[in-house]
Structure 1
């Protein structure tokens, strides 16, 4: 191995930051802090074939929830639906209350409930991007462990390459 390169630069694998607490993935299989939102995929409580894409915007705390085929959640009326509550709860388990609150730009006293401090109103945010990212993460679960490069990531430029 080249002495000037770290181990992660030699393979297609980077260590993932572990969750603050272990998560149960059945209800909220995907949660992320990305694109200026807390967003993720939440399983339907009534239909095993339906999932909801829910999000909370950072700063404005606007709330969005719709099915994976962009039909609005019937329970999002001026206040957060159960899908958004589940998403927020799992985000706190995954990232910790301080990190989620900081990302959403809200003051939450230690030990308090994040949702009590969010006063956003419902908005429509397209579900396709978040749902596609979720499906991509599922596909990576089927890739066998390897230190070999992944073909679909070969377009990334080499670190330190000079042109």
Structure 2
């Protein structure tokens, strides 16, 4: 017989979240993901509280991209990773662990090296709008009241079955 408490999460509108490897500082990098063949996310500006950057590193090619949410290029990205990309990579390692991030980006990281120093890609503009839009959508979910009732925007999630 299956424990009812063990399967209770299947009857609610929330999903189990894999906990981060270590605690992250969400004020600096509020959104980080391994998606669309890139490590990508939103990084707060160090100089302007109203500005954010969408930064990404492509898997395989290690192409670097960083621009503001309205597609203005980052002034610090000159063929080598800017501070926004470094912050993104550091937070991704905290969230997912160095092994998972390195495997996703297809990069070998020496035991005494950091992730960014192991990259060998150049600058290549990547789309910022979809990443920023997904970040805003995630923020909107934080404003929803706690409930076990279905959330209409998430109706496409399976109601039963195993989680991959």
TM-score by length of 1: 0.90
Question: In the aligned structure 2, how far is the partner of 1:83 from the partner of 1:18?
Answer: 23
Counting only pairs closer than 5 Å after superposition, residues 34-49 of structure 1 correspond to structure 2 as: 34-49=35-50
Q: How many residues of Structure 1 are paired with residues of Structure 2 in the alignment?
A: 159
Corresponding position of 1:13? 14
The structural deviation recorded for 1:112 is 2.6
3-state secondary structure, aligned to 2:53: strand
* Matched-pair contact (CA < 8 Å) for 2:11–2:159: no
* Matched-pair contact (CA < 8 Å) for 2:10–2:159: no
Corresponding position of 1:88? 89
Mark the runs of 5 or more structure 1 residues left unpaired by the alignment.
none
The structural deviation recorded for 1:74 is 1.2
Bigger drift between 140-149 and 84-93 goes to: 140-149
Q: Deviations over 1:11-60 (max 9, x none)?
A: 21111011100011111111000010000000011111100000000000
CA, structure 1 residues 48+91, in 2 after alignment: closer, same or farther (shift >3 Å)? same
TM-score by length of 2: 0.90
Mark the runs of 5 or more structure 2 residues left unpaired by the alignment.
none
Corresponding position of 1:65? 66
The structural deviation recorded for 1:155 is 4.2
The structural deviation recorded for 1:6 is 3.5
